[in-house]
A and B are shown apart, each in its own frame.
Chain A
C-alpha cells in the first residue's frame, strides 16, 4: 500500500491489553497522507482500542506506532501537546460539553491555543458551524440538539484548529440515512478541499465503501484484510466475506450441539 517512510501513520506489531486480557494481536499497517482510511470490524473487534492508541489515549509500547516517522512511545509531554493540537477527534457521542453553548464548545480550543481576539474567534466558529451545516445554532445548548446535530457539532469542534489529521469514531452510527450520507459527503469534501488525512472507525459497510480510499478489516483483535476497497471486496477470507455479506453467526449449529450435550448429561 505505502511504505513506512511515506506514510503519515505506521503501526508495527501493535499489541494491546486490558489487564491480562489481550485485545490486539500484532497489528501492522500504514496510513498514506491525504486519504480516508477506514477501520472496520464487528463490535468487540478492537477497532476502538486501536483508535485510542492512535490518538494517544492508550499508552503504546516501543516501536509500535509511528506518527510521521516518530515513535510515539518516546514522545515527551510537549510532543503530545503538539500532536494533539495538530489533530481533530470526533468521538462517537460527539463529547460536547453540556454546560456550554455550541459556539463556546467550538471556540474552546481556539481560546486556549491561539492569541486570536474574540471577534476573530467568533467568525472562525461561525465558519466551522457553517461547514457542518449548523449555522444559526451557535447559541443552542447540546441538550437542545438531535444526535446527528451533536455529531456535526463535535466535528465542527474537531475542525476548529484546522487539523491535518482527523480521527472520527463511528460517524454514522445511530443516524438516519440522510444525515449519515451528509456526514460522509462532508468527510470526503474535507479530504478533497483541505488535503486532510481522515481516519474513520465504523461498522457501516455502505458508508465505509463510499468514503474509504483504504480499508482495514478487523476481527477479534487481528487484521483480516487491509488495502483498497476493491482488494477488500475481493478478499477470500471467510470472516471478511461473512462481514461484507452481512451473514449472521451460525448460532443454530452451536445451539443444537449444546442441546445434545445437555440431553446426554440429563440422561446419565
Chain B
C-alpha cells in the first residue's frame, strides 16, 4: 500500500478507536447510574466520599472564593468608579460569582484536588487487580466504586459552589466597602435587587453538570487505566490522572459556554 493509503488506514483506525472510546464512556455512565439501585448499600460509602470530595475541599474553596471575590471587588470598584456607578458593585460581584465564577472555579478546584485523587485511586485499584477481584466476587465494580462517588459529587458540588459564592461576596464586600469605601447599604441593596432565582438556578444547574462531568471523566479514566495499552503500570495511572484533570477542566469550560448560551 502506498504512503497516502497507509495514512488513510491509520486515520480510519484512529477515528474508529475514538468512536469506540466514546461509546465505552457512554456505557460506563449508564452502568454507573444503573448501579445506584444495585447492592451493596451505598450510604456509608457515599458519606465517606462526601467527606473526601466536600469536607476536604472546603479550605481550598473558601480560600479561592475569598480571593476571587476580593479581585472582583477591586476591579469592579475601579471600573465602576470611572462612571460614578460604585453603587452597582454588589450586583456586579454577586452576579459574576453566582452565574459564572462560582460554579466554574469550584469545579476546577475540586477537579484538581479530588478528581485527580479519585482517578489515581481507581487506577491503582485497576492495576492491582482489585477491580477484577470485585467482579470475581460477583460485586458490580460500577455500583460499588463509581455510583457512590457520583452521588457524593452531585451533593457536594452545589454546596461547595454556594459556599464559594457566599465567601466571594463577602470578599468583594471586604475590599469594595471596607477598604475602598463603597457604600455598604448600596452593596447589599444591589445584590438584593439584581440577583434573581434564575441566576441561582443557573449556578446550580452548572454545578450539577460539572459534578457529573468531573466524576464521570475522573472515574472513567481511572477505571480503564492501562486497559488499552495492556501494560497496567504506574505510568498508566499517571497518564490517566493527567488526562482526567485536563479533559475535565476543558469539558467544564466548554459545558459552561453551552449551558450559558442555552439558559440566557
Interface residues in chain A, defined as those with a beta carbon under 8 Å from any beta carbon in chain B = 18, 55-57, 80-82, 84-85, 87, 89, 91-93, 95-97, 108-109, 111-113, 154, 157, 161
Which B residues are in CB contact (< 8 Å) with A81?
Answer: 138
Bound-complex Cα distance A96 to B124 (A): 12
How many chain B residues sit at the interface, stated as a range, is: 10 to 19
Interface residues in chain B, defined as those with a beta carbon under 8 Å from any beta carbon in chain A = 39-40, 125, 128-130, 132-133, 135-139, 230
Q: List 10 A-B contacts (CB under 8 A).
A: A57-B132, A82-B138, A89-B136, A89-B137, A91-B133, A95-B129, A95-B132, A108-B139, A109-B137, A157-B133
Bound-complex Cα distance A72 to B154 (A): 38
Question: Judging by beta carbons under 8 Å apart, are A112 and B136 in contact?
Answer: no
Which B residues are in CB contact (< 8 Å) with A109?
Answer: 137-139
Q: Which chain A residue shows the least CB distance to B130?
A: A95
Bound-complex Cα distance A173 to B137 (A): 23
Q: Which chain A residue shows the least CB distance to B144?
A: A112
Q: Given A18-B230, A112-B39, A112-B40, are A95 and B138 neighbors across the interface (CB < 8 Å)? A: no
Q: Given A18-B230, A112-B40, are A91 and B137 neighbors across the interface (CB < 8 Å)? A: no
Q: Given A95-B128, A111-B40, are A89 and B133 neighbors across the interface (CB < 8 Å)? A: yes
B127 to chain A, nearest CB (A): 9
Which B residues are in CB contact (< 8 Å) with A57?
Answer: 132, 135-136
Which 7 pairs between the two chains have the least Cβ-Cβ distance? Answer: A84-B138, A95-B133, A89-B136, A95-B129, A91-B129, A109-B137, A85-B138
Which A residues are in CB contact (< 8 Å) with B139?
Answer: 108-109, 112
Q: Given A18-B230, A111-B40, are A93 and B128 neighbors across the interface (CB < 8 Å)? A: yes
Question: Judging by beta carbons under 8 Å apart, are B136 and A84 in contact?
Answer: yes
A107 to chain B, nearest CB (A): 11
Bound-complex Cα distance A108 to B39 (A): 12
Bound-complex Cα distance A97 to B137 (A): 13
Which A residues are in CB contact (< 8 Å) with B125?
Answer: 97
Which B residues are in CB contact (< 8 Å) with A108?
Answer: 137, 139
A159 to chain B, nearest CB (A): 12
Bound-complex Cα distance A161 to B139 (A): 13
Bound-complex Cα distance A108 to B144 (A): 11
Bound-complex Cα distance A109 to B230 (A): 28
Q: Which chain B residue shows the least CB distance to A86?
A: B138
Bound-complex Cα distance A84 to B133 (A): 10
Which B residues are in CB contact (< 8 Å) with A111?
Answer: 40
Bound-complex Cα distance A112 to B40 (A): 5
Q: Given A92-B129, A95-B129, A95-B130, are A55 and B40 neighbors across the interface (CB < 8 Å)? A: no
Bound-complex Cα distance A95 to B232 (A): 14
Question: Judging by beta carbons under 8 Å apart, are A84 and B135 in contact?
Answer: yes
